[in-house]
Amino acid sequence: MPLRKGPFVFIVASAALIAFAQTPPPPPGQRPAQQGRGGGGRNFLISRDVPDPAAVERGQRLFVANCGFCHGSNANGGGEGGPDLIRSALALDDEKGNKIGPVIHNGRGKMPPFPQMTQAQIEDIAAFLRAKQQAAINRNAYTIQNVNTGNAAEGKVYFEAHCANCHSPAGDLAGIAGKFTPEILLNRIVYPGGRGGRGRGGASASRVHSTVTVTANGHSYSGTLEYEDDFHVSLQAPTGEYLTFTRGPGVRVEVEDPLAGHEKLIPTYTDAELHNVLAYLETLK
């Protein structure tokens, strides 16, 4: 039966909202229960308790000495073919060694058993793995490494060969290194349309728009391209007026995309060339 739309729906929704609003908040310091990987109302991995740093340090030493040759020293696989324990479902569902402990003691597949490992040592290894898992999913903890690693002289050569027709170190790029950090500047080389974020001063990167000229009924109209498909084209004139035209006989549309040169270069330049150009641009203080 279709849902009836009317006062009844409003009353039910209102009652649910009131009931939700009246639900008492959890006591201070107590996390609300959330559905975790293993179900049963367990907390999400990122919201579980952060392991004791001393236990993590002890667990890292144990892990590297006993497990690193297969699972990698950072527990992310590699080594002699051991799986990535940062993404392992078993390790993710572990609590203080309750899941990984039996595997450590008894072995599994090509993994040898470690029956001599004590419960305290297993819990330390579990703390190390939990710390690595939480760090892997905590986007706020990611740090950007130095990206200005190229050769400025080689970057200048590439710039003069591929970019100088549209850009000038003394014109639009004058002082560019003082306006953007190297990370943002590298991003703007690849995404010149404004995905590069904010400059050092906090000003938003201005988005580059295509311009269009539409000739119809003997008149030409130019402005910023706002919309285009196989049937219509819309532009905003310098006066602020928004104009839409229907494509057809007698209507000519000419689009000028200032980013066309960048789009042609994207599939051609190498990582080294990108960083060389960045190194050159970083000299334009």
The answer to whether residue 215 sits within a structural domain is: yes
pTM above 0.85, yes or no: no
- Of 96, 94, 95, 114, residue with least CA distance to 104: 114
Task: Flag residues of the chain having pLDDT under 70.
Answer: 1-47, 79-80, 139-143, 193-208
What pLDDT digit, counting tens, does each position of 216-231 carry?
A: 988 999 999 999 999 9
Q: What is the CATH number of the domain that holds 269?
A: 1.10.760
What percent of the chain lies above the pLDDT cut of 70? 75
How far is 101 from 119, CA to CA, in rounded Å?
8
**Is the same domain home to 67 and 94?**
yes
What pLDDT digit, counting tens, does each position of 11-56 carry?
A: 333 434 333 334 444 444 444 433 333 333 344 555 678 889 999 9
Number of domains in the chain: 3
- Domain hosting 123: range is 45-141
**Residues whose CB falls within 8 Å of the CB of residue 110, separated by 6 or more in sequence, listed in order:** 81
Q: What is the CATH number of the domain that holds 246?
A: 2.30.30
The answer to whether residue 186 sits within a structural domain is: yes
**Tell me, what amino acid is at 254?**
E
**Is the same domain home to 63 and 110?**
yes
